[in-house]
């Protein structure tokens, strides 16, 4: 059984008891969160495809922790002009565990 769910504009294929890194959520660690934007739901009764979302389907998850991703380096350079610029950032993520799909 798995589902495709839309979390903050990104689509994730999730299964029960799976752990995923998603864009930062505003919920505290150890709190439960419910996602209602389920696009596809496949279980023992068959396949359901929403247009765009499945009515009444939800995915429940538990927030485990907030953390930062690996550093991304942005380097810009123009030849023969002496122009170069180095910048970087670390994306903020939330680790969640899927508890129930239904």
Give the residues across from 71 on adjacent strands: 90
Report d(CA 80, CA 44) in Å as an integer.
63
pLDDT in tens, 23-52: 999 999 999 999 999 999 999 999 999 999
Residue of 35, 51, 55 lying closest to 101 (CA atoms): 35
pLDDT in tens, 42-85: 999 999 999 999 999 999 999 999 999 999 999 999 999 999 99
Report d(CA 69, CA 94) in Å as an integer.
10
Q: 102 falls in which pLDDT band (50, 70, 90)?
A: confident
Q: Spell out the domain ranges in the chain.
A: 2-101
Report d(CA 6, CA 40) in Å as an integer.
10
Report d(CA 63, CA 21) in Å as an integer.
10
């Amino acid at each position: 059984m798995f589902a495709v769910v839309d979390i903050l504009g990104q689509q994730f294929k999730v299964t029960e008891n799976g752990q995923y890194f998603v864009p930062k959520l505003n919920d505290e660690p150890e709190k439960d969160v419910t996602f209602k934007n389920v696009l596809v739901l496949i279980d023992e009764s068959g396949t359901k495809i929403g247009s765009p979302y499945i009515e009444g389907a939800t995915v429940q998850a538990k927030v485990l922790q907030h953390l930062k991703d690996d550093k991304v380096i942005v380097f810009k350079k123009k030849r023969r002009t002496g122009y170069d610029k180095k910048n970087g950032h670390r994306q903020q993520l939330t680790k969640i565990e899927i508890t129930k799909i239904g």
